[in-house]
Structure 1
Amino acid sequence: MRQTISKMLVRKRSVLLVFLLSTSCASMDQDLLDARLPETPETWSAPEASTGVPVGNWVAAFQDNRLEELIGEATLRNNNLLASAANLDAARQAHRRAFAALLPTLDANPSVSRSAFVQDPAFAAQIGGSGIDVSDVRVQDLEDQFGVDLDGDGAPDVLDQNGDGIFEPIPNRRSYVNNFLLNAQIRWEIDLWGRLRDTNSAAQRDAAASLADYKAARLSLAANVAQTWFTLIEARQQRELAERDVEARERNLKVTSRRYERGVASSLDVRLAQSQVGSSRASLAQRQRTEKESGRRLEVLLGRYPGAELEAAAALPDLPALPDAGAPSEILTRRPDIIAAEMRMEAAGLRARAARKRILPTLTLSSRLSTSGPDLEDVLDPERLAGNIAAGLFQPLFRGGEIQANSRQQRAIAEQRLLTYAQTVLEAFEETENALAAENYLALQEDALKLAFDEAAAAEKLTERRYANGAASIFNLLDAQTRRISTESSYISAKRQRVSNRVVLYLAIGGNFITEQELRLARDKQVDSALRGTRTGKALPVAVRALTGE
């Protein structure tokens, strides 16, 4: 069954069907995908055979506790990885916004107002001049209504100031009225053609792509830490080699100087020995600088200040067993960068389809409710509630070509994402083939340099004895020492390159890992949540949530 599935995956027609059916990207050109995804072989062309070792935790495969600690620290403190985690959160919130478009909206608009009314007592003047009997109008009523008893004598002071029997204008009096109002509106766009669902699905795939980006950044960070750690170890070994070289050159100078004092060696021999001491010291200074720079680079990856305080291990870790690379088609589902490219390809296809649907009519249901009253409790009185419900159909008629241009733009973006996906797959195949092939070549190179170093070291010892006995010249001695140092330095570099290539191979085939720090944090959060009776997903760090799918 597994072989049948693998055979299906390695054929470009099957890849096309999976792409079109599972993502609904019917706007993609089949010919374009056929042209950009060549026939994929069932096995890798590299001669290196796999041992069937799983790639679930490649960091632990090196059996280097210090390396595991460094990678664990980097996954929690590296700023670039934290930025990728923030981008993941942003993508998830964007998906939540897109999903909200499928739901009805409810908006409320409460308001309160206070109005002032002016009561004009000029009517009294009109009443007095019209011959109407106002004898029954009590002064107290007027005073209560208009407040005109200014001197407090109980008589209306300003109703008839000149005694002509006509009431004079009385100062205005203000009164106030409160009004409480509550308006609510419900609006819901019915997704008749699936345009909103396509947009939501596209945002969902964008979030999935961001999750894959985070995983890819996490793997890349771990690989950078591992390779920088191995480079730091090599730099230490190269620096120690340079120190031994300086010591050997200084011994040569002492021996040559004594021989010169006895008349056995010439001044030329002394000068050559002195020159070689200077060259060795210069090489040592360069090796020291390289070691410090490697340490600072690693500290930056860990989120530390680059103070070059990290101490490298004395030796490189032993190579673990070669991992199982699987079939070429299997990395399509393992490598996070391919998954991210695939998700973005699907999202672009969905947006292209949604853009074409903008020409179709949209149906919107809406309802408005309102209530008001002079008191706050009146707003909550259902008997005062008034409202309406309506359905509206919106059909774009003329937009100056904007809808068509947007549809073509989204189609072009979808094609660009398809080509990016195809290129990502091809580059993944290339990286894996190169890493597998390099395993064989680097092993041959390391064996050859080991032989060259052993022979050069033996030749150096032989030349030193012959020089001490006067059977070899200073030129023979310096040449033998230089050859031994050069081959030993190359041998150290070859061992580091082979270990680093193993990291590249793990990365190329989509190997994963989890650090002890992440497991410990996950366990602590689970225990805490169990005690509190809450879910663990939101409390887990992003690194653990990304791995567990929370």
Structure 2
Amino acid sequence: MTRPPAWLIPLLLASLAGCMPPHQPPPTEAAFTPPDSWRAEGVRASEISAHWWQSFGDAQLTALVEAALAHNSDVLIAASRVEQAREQIRLSHAALLPNLDAVLGAQRTRELSVLGITQTTAVQPSLQLSYEVDIWGRLRRLREAATLQYQASEAERDAVRLAVASTTARAYVSLLSLDRQLHVTRETLESRRQALRVAEDRASLGYTSQLELTQAQSEYEATAQLLPQLQQAIREQEHAVRLLSGALPGAVQRGAGLFAIEPPAVPGVLPSELLRRRPDIHQAELLLAASDLNLQAQRDRFLPQVQVSASLGRLFVNSRDYDPVRVWDIGASVLAPIFDAGRLEAGVNIAVAQRDQAAFAYRAAALEAFGEVENSLSAEGNLRQQIERIEARRAVLERSLTLAEDRYRAGYSSYLETLDAQRNLFNTELTAVQLRERQLNALIDLYQVLGGGWQVADQR
């Protein structure tokens, strides 16, 4: 048999490498450049604690958030995904090492030969080794991609923890808001009860009409109707808070009241730092890098694969009175793709599409992050101004109600003036409670969208 020329093999490898599709860079539309500054004025970079919820000064809020981080179902699921990704690294690393298998073969035959009918029993235990030589680095790239995906799962877990912490804090603040609304409603109900007694006394003496009496009764009942609605809302909010903490429905212990919580200082970071402070953005960045490595590994499939195999064992045959014979073999093979009906090219095209999707996902995450920060900064500033105005209006309405009640008792005005003053003050007090809730929740949102003290360096 004539041996092929020595130059033929390198030429064959070069021709196969030339068939490899060219590397395609990420789409230019996926590029993203952060802004130089925020639209909101006066934003200063500050250090954000990883336990930012403690800055609100409510021990019960801190206890609820920490319980949620330890027992929330979403957090536990995310932690399980991290363990799954860790094992994927082990699988990809194992592909770089040889496989060693123990094999036991047994065979019994009965056949006709020149010596007559013979029966043969053969037993062959052996060890078999197989190994793919990673000449082009394809397996190493897959291992690096698995490592990046593991780090991405850690970033996803941290993003889930941040979301659960902020959701729990908002749910607790909403619960305190409902408590305060119930308190304001009860005080208003007591005020209207007293006004109703005055109206009943004046009606019995003929100093006022039955119309004013029915108006007082109607307002009293309308306020009383709000009590069971608020009590039901409080019960449902308690159950929501306990569900976030991984507990069964039940009562929730309160700490400081809504207005006893002192809003912490407004946190801030530079726009250029935001991309390194958000776990969800870091996750998208890692997935993009992993998809690019997977793309390179798919391109490497166009190159020949070198397989090395070996086996060593003993052969026991009854015709030799089971005198064992050592048997072995060793060999290597080169698998070079020539025709596969477009499978390899389709695999590369799929990997390119997946890489492009990861690039667009990273850009979308970055754009959304900057939009969330801008909205939260704007909301916090505007709510602070609204609270100043509503507090001033409430002080004026309290004075107005006192004057209206004095005039009504002295007979200088009808009950309509008192009723109008009561309505305005009640609605203003409820609005003040809701604005305070929105202010605290806006600060919680701001901590969340700024990454809550998370940084890439903290993950390593």
**TM superposition score normalised by structure 2:** 0.87
User: Match for 1:449 among 375, 390, 393?
Assistant: 390
CA drift of 1:424 comes to: 0.4
Contact residue 45 and residue 269 of structure 2 kept, 8 A: no
- Name the counterpart of 1:203: 146
Q: Secondary structure at the match of 1:472?
A: coil
Say yes or no: does 1:246 pair with 2:189: yes
Pairing of 1:375-386 with structure 2 (within 5 A): 384-386=325-327
Contact residue 212 and residue 415 of structure 2 kept, 8 A: yes
User: Match for 2:164 among 221, 238, 251?
Assistant: 221
- Name the counterpart of 2:226: 283
In structure 2, give the amino acid aligned to 1:58.
W
- Identity among equivalent pairs (%): 30
Residue by residue over 1:336-357, the C-alpha shift from the partner in whole angstroms, topping out at 9 and shown as x without a partner, is 0001111111111111121122
In structure 1, give the amino acid aligned to 2:409.
A
Contact residue 233 and residue 315 of structure 1 kept, 8 A: yes
User: Match for 1:89 among 83, 87, 91?
Assistant: 83
Contact residue 236 and residue 312 of structure 1 kept, 8 A: no
Question: Hey, what's the Cα distance between the residues in 2 that align with 1:53 and 1:402?
Answer: 52
Inter-CA distance 390–51: structure 2 relative to 1 (3 Å threshold): closer
Say yes or no: does 1:477 pair with 2:418: yes
Residue by residue over 1:200-246, the C-alpha shift from the partner in whole angstroms, topping out at 9 and shown as x without a partner, is 11111111111111000001000011000000000100111111122
In structure 1, give the amino acid aligned to 2:406.
R
User: Match for 2:208 among 265, 274, 283?
Assistant: 265
Pairing of 1:437-516 with structure 2 (within 5 A): 437-512=378-453
Contact residue 298 and residue 351 of structure 2 kept, 8 A: yes
User: Match for 2:25 among 5, 24, 28?
Assistant: 28
Question: Hey, what's the Cα distance between the residues in 2 that align with 1:26 and 1:280?
Answer: 71
- Name the counterpart of 2:330: 389
Residue by residue over 1:69-105, the C-alpha shift from the partner in whole angstroms, topping out at 9 and shown as x without a partner, is 1111111111111111111111111222112111111
Residue by residue over 1:270-326, the C-alpha shift from the partner in whole angstroms, topping out at 9 and shown as x without a partner, is 11111111110122222112111111110110111123x113345132111222x22
Question: Hey, what's the Cα distance between the residues in 2 that align with 1:412 and 1:273?
Answer: 70
User: Match for 2:39 among 25, 33, 45?
Assistant: 45
- Name the counterpart of 1:421: 362
Say yes or no: does 1:108 pair with 2:102: yes
- Name the counterpart of 2:349: 408
CA drift of 1:548 comes to: 7.0
Say yes or no: does 1:319 pair with 2:263: yes
User: Match for 1:67 among 61, 64, 75?
Assistant: 61
Inter-CA distance 116–97: structure 2 relative to 1 (3 Å threshold): closer
Question: Hey, what's the Cα distance between the residues in 1 that align with 2:299 and 2:393?
Answer: 68
Which fold has the larger relative contact order, with Cα–Cα distance below 8 Å and residues 6 or more apart in sequence?
2
CA drift of 1:406 comes to: 1.3
Structure 1 unaligned blocks of 5 or more: 1-24, 118-122, 124-175, 514-545
Inter-CA distance 48–500: structure 2 relative to 1 (3 Å threshold): farther
In structure 2, give the amino acid aligned to 1:312.
R
Inter-CA distance 306–424: structure 2 relative to 1 (3 Å threshold): same
User: Match for 2:129 among 178, 186, 197?
Assistant: 186
CA drift of 1:41 comes to: 2.5
Contact residue 219 and residue 512 of structure 1 kept, 8 A: no
Question: Hey, what's the Cα distance between the residues in 2 that align with 1:510 and 1:346?
Answer: 21
CA drift of 1:426 comes to: 0.6
Contact residue 60 and residue 254 of structure 2 kept, 8 A: no
Question: Hey, what's the Cα distance between the residues in 2 that align with 1:433 and 1:390?
Answer: 65
In structure 2, give the amino acid aligned to 1:402.
R
- Name the counterpart of 1:256: 199
Question: Hey, what's the Cα distance between the residues in 2 that align with 1:92 and 1:461?
Answer: 69
CA drift of 1:112 comes to: 6.0
Residue by residue over 1:475-529, the C-alpha shift from the partner in whole angstroms, topping out at 9 and shown as x without a partner, is 111110111111111111111111111111111111238xxxxxxxxxxxxxxxx
Larger radius of gyration: 1
CA drift of 1:549 comes to: 5.0
Contact residue 49 and residue 452 of structure 2 kept, 8 A: yes
Residue by residue over 1:375-413, the C-alpha shift from the partner in whole angstroms, topping out at 9 and shown as x without a partner, is 9xx99x9x9432121110001121111111111111011
Residue by residue over 1:446-470, the C-alpha shift from the partner in whole angstroms, topping out at 9 and shown as x without a partner, is 1111111111122112211221111
Q: Secondary structure at the match of 2:48?
A: coil
Say yes or no: does 1:295 pair with 2:292: no
Question: Hey, what's the Cα distance between the residues in 1 that align with 2:167 and 2:78?
Answer: 16
Count, aligned residues: 429
In structure 1, give the amino acid aligned to 2:144.
S
Residue by residue over 1:52-83, the C-alpha shift from the partner in whole angstroms, topping out at 9 and shown as x without a partner, is 34333312212221111111111111111111
Q: Secondary structure at the match of 1:397?
A: coil
- Name the counterpart of 1:56: 50
Pairing of 1:344-359 with structure 2 (within 5 A): 344-359=287-302
Contact residue 47 and residue 453 of structure 2 kept, 8 A: no
Q: Considering only aligned residues, what root-mean-square deviation do their CA atoms show, in Å?
A: 2.7
In structure 1, give the amino acid aligned to 2:444.
V
Question: Hey, what's the Cα distance between the residues in 2 that align with 1:314 and 1:460?
Answer: 29
**TM superposition score normalised by structure 1:** 0.73
